[in-house]
Amino acid sequence: MSIAIDINNLTKQYDETAAIKNVTMSLEKDKIYGLIGRNGAGKTTLLHMLAGQSLPTDGNITIFNQPIYENKAALDQICFTAFFANPSFAKYAISFRVKDFINTAAKFYPNWDQNFANQLLNEFGLSPKKKFKDLSAGMVSMVSVVISLASRAPITLLDEPYTGLDAGARHLFYDILAEDYGQNPRTIIFSTHLIDEASRLFENVILIDQGSLVFNLPIDHIEAMSFLISGPTNLLEQIVVNKRIVHKESLGNNSSVAVFDTITNDELVSYKHAGLNIQNLSLQKLFVYLTALNRRAM
């Protein structure tokens, strides 16, 4: 297992608010990570720090064992085109055309693939001559996606890259990402709110809530721990008493519980024999329940 990104005790403080609290994790090379969390959870702040665009208040980040701050060798490994989402960008780029962004990116990324960039522009139907001020939100996202993918950066960070994209364009993006990743493996961290839609791409999922890391686990592992168990309330309470319940709903004498815990095959068989109904819990629902649980615990 080769480590691409190592994060140690990372903290980011804005005045009184801690956007990121003491996060420690390691991210492997050539894997797609889904970064999920509620609005204001600290996803974008974390990505900015990974790209060296924001600086940690405490802790450190290394990229392929190299510190990132002012380190050209480490920075050249990363692509994070977050500036397109910056509100002041529209004013700055008023005279820019799509080709200006592409040409700029070509000068900065050492592994830049111009043919792939042209191909992506064609696939998204984006004219290089189009002025930035005439681009819709979706088209701005497309420019960002084209740069991110054509950069061929060993670490590619995507912050809600589908903003403004319609369902068709989003699925085109997922397909292109999956295909390109297959041909050119790299470490991708992909923050999203459309969890179920994008989860087919994820190999690992990072959940952060209120600046803290909740988990960083392989998606198979998460799926193997996420269950929705329903049945008579009294029976349910007896059987799942030792499991980590992240959500509970009751209707009359019946209840359903969302469990995020290890359940052995023997236990599953015994639950079924006892008359309980067991379903897989979607990643989206698990995310909603876990973050709600965290907030209640605060």
Q: Which residues bind another protein (CB under 8 A)?
A: 15, 48, 51-55, 70-72, 75-76, 78-83, 86, 88-89, 92-96, 100, 103-105, 107-109
* Shortest distance in whole angstroms from residue 189 CB to another protein: 16
In three-state secondary structure terms, 240 is: coil
* Token pair for 89: 């960008």
Q: How far is the CB of 103 from another protein (least distance, A)?
A: 7
Considering the complex, state which of residue 106 and residue 278 has its C-beta at the smaller distance from another protein: 106
User: Phi and psi for 224 in degrees, rounded to 5?
Assistant: -75, -10
For the CB of residue 235, give the shortest distance to another protein in the complex, in Å: 53
Query: Alpha-carbon distance 158 to 174, whole Å?
Result: 12
To the nearest whole angstrom, how small is the minimum distance from the Cβ of residue 59 to another protein?
A: 16
Based on CB atoms, which residue is closest to another protein, 83 or 277?
83
For residue 177, which of 160, 203, 201, 141 has the smallest C-alpha distance? 201
Nearest approach, Cβ of residue 6 and another protein (Å):
19
Residue 257 CA to its chain's centroid (Å): 26
* Cβ nearer to another protein, comparing 109 with 227: 109
Residue type, 84: F
Of 38 and 97, CB closest to another protein: 97
d(CA 15, CA 37): 22
Distance (Å, whole) CA 247 – CA 230: 12
Min dist. Cβ of residue 118 to another protein (A): 19
**Quick one: how many helices (H) and strands (E) in the chain?**
12, 14
Name which of 81 and 255 has its Cβ closer to another protein: 81
Q: Are 77 and 64 in contact (CB under 8 A)?
A: yes
Nearer to another protein, 158 or 286 (CB): 158
| Nearest one of 55, 70, 50, 60 to 10, comparing CA atoms | 60
